[in-house]
Amino acid sequence: MYSIYPRARERIYHYVGFVLALHIGAHATHTFTHLTIPVTLPTPLTVFTIFVVFIAPVGGFLLLLRGDSLFGGIIFVASMAISLALGGTFHFVLQNPDHVSSVPNGVLGFTFEMTAVAVALIDLVGSILGGLVIWAQTSNLPVSLRQSGRISGLPSSGFRPLTRFTYWFSKRIFGEVPEPVTIMAHNNQILWGTSAFEMALDRAGHVDERLKELTVLKAAKVIGCDFCVDIGTSEAQDLGIPHEQLAELHRFEESDAFNELERLVLRYAVAVSTTPTDVPDGMYDELSTNFDEAEMVELTAAIAFENYRARFNHAFEIKSQGFSEGGLCPRMEEPPTVQE
C-alpha cells in the first residue's frame, strides 16, 4: 500500500474516471456503428477486444479506488495502450472493411469515422494519464526538502503526478527544486496559477529580458527577500548581465555601470515596491516616452509579481538556497516607505 494524499488522490481519480467515461462512451458508440460494417472477427479476438476495451480499464479504475495505485495504474494504462494499438491498426493501417476509408457514406459512416478518431485520441490521453499514475508511484525523485522557514515543503512522494512533474521540471532547470515550489505544492491551485503567470511573463517578450531581470532583482533587494535575490542573481548571470551591474545594483544612481534607461526602470522598480506604492507622474511620463502600453504592462507586471513572490517568501521566512553560489549582490536594502 502506498502513501497517498487524500485530496490529490480524489482529484486524480476524477481525471481517470472522466477519461474512462469518455473511453466507454466513444467505444460503445463506435461499436454501434459497427452494425453496418461487415467485419467478422475470430471469437477469441472478439472476446479479447471486449476484455481490453471495456472490462480491463474498469477493473483498473476500481483498483485505484481501493487504493492500489500501482497495480491499478498498470492495468489501466495497459488496457488503454492495447486498445489504442488495436484501433489504430484496424482503422488506419490495415486495408480491410474496418478501415475508415472503406466505410460507406452516410450518417453512420460519418459517425464511424469520427468515433474511430475519438477513441484513438481518448485512448492516447488515457495511456498518458495512466503512465503518470505509475510514474508517481515508482519514480525516485530525490528532493531536498529544506525547512529554512515556517513551513516544510510537500514531499515528492505520494499521489500527485502533476506536482511531481513540476518538481522534476524545476530540478532540470535549477539543479534542485526551489523551496517556494515545494511550499506552494500544499495548494495545487496556487502552485499552478503562480507557475502559469510566471511562464506568461517569461514569454511576453515585449521588454528586453536583461532590463526586465534587473528591475525584478531590484524589487527583490528592496523588499529584502533572501531567496529572491539568490535565485534572481543566478538568472541574471545566465542572461549575461554584467558582474559590475550586479555588484553596483544597490547604488545604481551613482554607478557608471548603468545607462539612463536602466536607471529609469530601476527607479520605477523602487517606486512600485515602496509601501505604499509611490509612482510620481513625472516618472510615469518619462517611462511612457520610452515604452509603449504593452511594454509598460509587462514591466509593471514583472515588478508587481516579484513583490508577490518576495512577500510570499518573506512571510514564510524562506532563505537563500545557494543558486548563485554566493552571488554578487547579497546586499539587502531598507524597504522604502512613504510618510503620510
Per-residue pLDDT of the chain (340 residues; tens, 9 = 90+): 233 344 445 566 678 888 889 999 988 888 887 776 666 667 777 788 889 888 999 998 888 777 666 788 888 889 999 988 888 887 777 656 666 566 666 656 677 778 888 989 999 998 888 887 776 666 555 545 555 667 877 776 554 666 777 787 788 778 888 889 889 988 888 988 998 898 899 888 899 999 999 999 999 999 988 899 998 998 898 889 999 999 999 999 999 999 999 999 999 999 999 888 889 999 999 999 999 999 999 999 999 999 999 999 989 988 888 888 755 544 555 555 544 4
pLDDT at position 154 is: 75
pLDDT at position 36 is: 67
What pTM value is reported for the model? 0.59
pLDDT at position 257 is: 94
pLDDT at position 88 is: 82
The grid coordinates listed for 198 are: 510566471
**In CATH, which of 3.40.640.10, 3.40.50.2000, 3.30.1200.10, 1.20.1290.10 is domain 205-315?**
1.20.1290.10
Residue spans per domain, the chain: 6-138, 140-204, 205-315
The grid coordinates listed for 16 are: 481517470
pLDDT at position 275 is: 85
Helix 209-223 with 293-315: angle, nearest 10 deg: 30
Helical H segments across 175-292, by residue range = 179-184, 188-204, 209-223, 226-238, 243-247, 260-272, 281-290
Omega before residue 276 within 30° of 0, cis: yes
Determine the Cα–Cα distance for residues 311 and 249; give it in Å rounded to an integer.
Answer: 20
pLDDT at position 47 is: 85
